[in-house]
Copies of this chain bind each other. A is one copy, B any other.
Amino acid sequence: MLVNVLGIPGGLALVYIGGVTFAGFITIVMLYALFEYYSLQQHKDVYPQKWLGWLLTLLIGYIYYIQPEVKFPIVLIYLSFFILVALIIELFRNKSHPNQNLGTTFLGILYIPLLLGSMIALREQDTMQGTQLTFALILSIWVCDSAAYIIGKKWGVKKIFKRVSPNKTVAGTAAGLICAIILWLVLNNIGFLGKTYLWYQVVTFGVITGGFGQLGDFLESMFKRAVGVKDSGTILMGHGGVLDRFDSLIIASPLVYIFANTI
Contacts and interface: CB of A to CB of B under 8 A. Distances in A.
B63 A254 contact: no
Interface in A51-75: 63-64, 67-73, 75
A169 to B, nearest CB: 18
Contact of A100 (B67, B98, B100, B255): B100
Contact of A70 (B70, B115, B226): B70
Interface stretch (A103-111, A144-152, A175-183): A103-111
A121 interface: yes
Interface stretch (A5-13, A19-27, A82-90, A230-238): A82-90
Contact of A103 (B63, B79, B106, B261): B106
**Chain A residues touching B, range:** 35 or more
In the complex this chain forms, how many copies of it are found? 2
A223 interface: yes
A204 B63 CA distance: 31
B94 A163 contact: yes
Interface of A: 41, 44, 46, 63-64, 67-73, 75-77, 79-81, 83-84, 87-88, 90-91, 94, 96-100, 102-107, 110-111, 114-115, 117-118, 121, 163-164, 215, 218-219, 222-223, 226-227, 251, 254-255, 257-258, 261
